[in-house]
Amino acid sequence: MSIVVNNITKEFGNFVALRDVSLEIPSGGLMALLGPSGSGKTTLLRIIAGLEVPNAGSIVIDGEDISTQSARDRSVGFVFQHYALFKHMSVFENVAFGLRVRPRTTRPAKSEIQDRVMTLLKLVQLEHMAHRYPSQLSGGQRQRVALSRALAVEPKVLLLDEPFGALDAKVRKELRRWLRRLHDELHVTSVFVTHDQEEALEVADQIVVMSQGRIEQVGSPEEVYHHPATPFVYHFLGDVNLFHVRYEDGAMVVTEHNGHSGNGHAKDAGVGFVRPHGFEITRLAESDKAIPARIVHINAAGPYVKLELAGEQGGLFQVSVTQETYKGLALKRSDDVFVTPREVRVFEHDYAI
Amino acid sequence: MAHAHVNKRSAAIHESAIVRWLLTLAALGFLTLFLLVPLALVFAQGLAKGVVEYWNALKEPDAFSAIKLTLLAAGIAVPANLIFGIAAAWAIAKFQFAGKQLLVTLIDLPFTVSPVISGLIYVLLFGLQGWLGPWLDEHELQVIFAVPGIVLATVFVTFPFVARELIPLMEQQGTDEEEAAILLGASGLRTFFRVTLPNIKWGLLYGVILCNARAMGEFGAVSVVSGHIRGMTNTIPLHVEILYNEYNFAAAFACASLLAFLALITLVLKSVVEWRTQVEPNSKSAQQPDQIETEGLPV
């Protein structure tokens, strides 16, 4: 069921957490709210759930304006970063809770509750843990219990607040692939909050990039990564190097960025963004676009070799090259080389980091 | 070799054996002198004239009425402060509102004010010459030098115990579990009884035990508002004082031994609750979580 967010504004005292945010989440979609801390992503999720009240705007789920409904009546499933499992209840009781607290008229029979809870526990592969307590489970298992507890009430939408944030790296990776597959099976409209761009790119079919209470870009993982709409998105999704860009006789000239944004120079076109893999690295200056630099650090572990280069004006840039290039050029520390930016994305306005 | 190494290291961070023994002895000696000896003395003096006299001192009508009044005062003060304590801690720990800091300060007030002063406040409020005195007199209501005054004073001095115990506990637990319960469709009341209360029960019990001990043992505030009317407005501590002032030592200590008993029971209960609070989270995790995290998860 679709979620529509209309012009939501939320203030905490003087701090504006969300500024006039509008968003549409299609039915059956898996959407990521991605942004740094303080960007308002969790606040937006909590407003959809009814845990926070917005200063302005409305929330529509499945065509129905639910802005005035309490969190209790919204029938949203919510998964917390720190699981929020009921400590004194067994895994089974945790999952059954949402069914047990229903008014007598809509409460399923005992045997039906038993069946549904066990079906859900089977779905998250924890049926053999039904009688354990949350403290006896590992983080990943706890989060799976939290997920089945949220699904037990057959929610219209599923909201996940940094669901893998408290887990270690390996478990996180396994669990998010598993979540993706689970979503493909269940097709319940899901929104999850994350500050991990890799996680968003891997799991979501739509990504909402947020910064300072605003939406910067909405798009598929491919769109936001390859066609960032704003400097912020470019910067947030992956490593990036900054260069001065100006036009001389119609030709673009890229020079080393000295750390200051280029206002004052009329000819400055703005700041050029180059991904670490968007460089050509050579021993000799093959064109006048080549920028001289010295290798200060080499990390050759992994499929790509990561180089850290220092420019003549002291600027540092990150360049990644294939293992073949690295071996072919026989690069060593303190070597003087030339780098030529291949793909430069220029944002016309000054962008200071 | 290994042993020598360990000893060497421990010597570097520990005091020598003599110093350790001296410190332990000093602490034990101090405890014996100032706590154990007086406690033993209370029982020894109470039983000085034999078990029969001891028993008579307790079942004598004035003593019996003092025991009843003490139980009544505690029986009202403890439930009252239990409800207040939970409500205040709930509000302070789980919500943001204007005047929160003021409420916290007010809860601490009975700790910072001398009990005698708190008793005097009630005399000034409800006494014949007090603000509400004439009105109460007109309606033939007596607060001061009567049971209501004693209950009020007891409630006042035991006011902070439950709330003080619960606020840090509830603050540390946060609101996630309550939010989860509400989102699953539970009502506020149900959330409180099924989620919040089980999480705070040991802290709550601890607060109630301390609150009860203080309610039964309170002297200063109660003394001011009581008027010391024998068989009417005397609690056990006040009764003990009267008997002592009358040189009726055996009876005084017999009654005092009741309070000493209460203290001992409180200590035992307190230790049990403390032990339970520590054990609780661990007792259920005796089994280790599975090492292989996503066992059976087809990735």
Does A51 contact B179 at a Cβ distance shorter than 8 Å? yes
Q: DSSP assignment, residue B285?
A: T
Domain segments of chain B as ranges: 11-46, 50-282
Residues of B in contact with A154 (CB under 8 A): none
Residues of B in contact with A51 (CB under 8 A): 179, 183
3-state secondary structure A207-240: EEEEECCEEEEEECHHHHHHCCCCHHHHHHCCCC
Q: What sign has the CA pseudo-torsion B45, B49, B52, B56?
A: negative
Residue of chain A nearest B179, judged by CA positions: A51
Counting beta carbons within 10 angstroms of the beta carbon of residue B50, is it exposed (0 to 12), middle (13 to 18) or buried (19 or more)?
A: exposed
Residue B167 banded pLDDT, cuts 50, 70, 90: very high
**How many inter-chain contacts (A to B, CB under 8 Å) are there?**
101
Within 193-222 of B, beta carbons closer than 8 Å to A belong to 194-195, 198-199
pLDDT at residue B10, as a whole number: 56
pLDDT at residue B7, as a whole number: 52
pLDDT at residue B193, as a whole number: 92
Does A138 contact B289 at a Cβ distance shorter than 8 Å? yes
B47–chain A Cβ distance below 8 A for any pair: no
Contact (CB, 8 A) for A14 and A62 = no
Residues of B in contact with A102 (CB under 8 A): 185
pLDDT at residue A250, as a whole number: 67
- The per-residue pLDDT for range B72-87, each reduced to its tens digit, is 999 999 999 999 999 9
Distance CA B257, CA B251 (A): 10
Q: Which helix (H) or strand (E) holds B40?
A: helix B37-46
Q: Which amino acid is at A202?
A: E
Average pLDDT score over residue span B34-38: 89
Distance CA B60, CA B262 (A): 20
Q: Which helix (H) or strand (E) holds A305?
A: strand A304-311
Spatial strand order of the sheet with A251-256 comes to: A251-256, A241-248, A268-274, A345-347
| Candidates B177, B296, B299; nearest CB to A177 | B299
- The per-residue pLDDT for range B105-161, each reduced to its tens digit, is 999 888 888 888 888 888 888 887 778 888 888 887 787 888 888 898 999 999 899
Does B179 contact A78 at a Cβ distance shorter than 8 Å? yes
B181–chain A Cβ distance below 8 A for any pair: yes
Q: Residue A167's closest CA among A176, A158, A159?
A: A176
Counting beta carbons within 10 angstroms of the beta carbon of residue A16, is it exposed (0 to 12), middle (13 to 18) or buried (19 or more)?
A: middle
Counting beta carbons within 10 angstroms of the beta carbon of residue A148, is it exposed (0 to 12), middle (13 to 18) or buried (19 or more)?
A: buried
Q: How far is CA B289 from CA A129, A130, A134, A173, A177, in A?
A: 10, 13, 10, 19, 22
Distance CA A186, CA A148 (A): 12
Query: What percentage of chain B carries pLDDT values higher than 90?
Result: 26
The tokens of A317 are what?
């840039």
Mean pLDDT lowest among A343-352, B241-250, B255-264? A343-352
pLDDT at residue B296, as a whole number: 46
Superfamily assignment of B50-282 in CATH?
A: MetI-like (1.10.3720.10)
Contact (CB, 8 A) for A271 and A350 = yes
Distance CA B155, CA B132 (A): 19
Three-class secondary structure of residue A115 per DSSP: helix
Asked if ipTM goes beyond 0.85, one says no
Count helices and strands in chain B by DSSP H and E runs: 16, 0
A104–chain B Cβ distance below 8 A for any pair: no
Q: How far is CA B276 from CA A131, B93, B194, B196, B282, in A?
A: 21, 23, 20, 18, 10
pLDDT at residue A116, as a whole number: 92
Within 191-210 of A, beta carbons closer than 8 Å to B belong to none
pLDDT tens for chain A, 353 residues long, are 899 999 999 999 889 999 999 999 999 999 999 999 889 999 999 999 999 999 999 999 998 998 989 989 898 999 999 999 999 999 999 999 999 999 888 899 999 999 999 999 998 889 899 999 999 998 889 999 999 999 998 899 999 999 888 888 888 888 888 889 889 988 899 999 999 888 999 999 999 999 999 999 999 999 998 888 888 998 888 888 888 777 777 677 777 765 544 444 545 667 888 888 888 888 888 777 788 889 999 998 988 999 999 888 777 888 999 999 888 888 888 889 998 888 888 876 554 44
pLDDT at residue A3, as a whole number: 93
B190–chain A Cβ distance below 8 A for any pair: yes
Distance CA A324, CA A334 (A): 20
pLDDT at residue A269, as a whole number: 63
Pick B12 or B24 by higher pLDDT: B24
Distance CA A173, CA A283 (A): 39
Q: Residue A161's closest CA among A197, A192, A204, A189?
A: A192
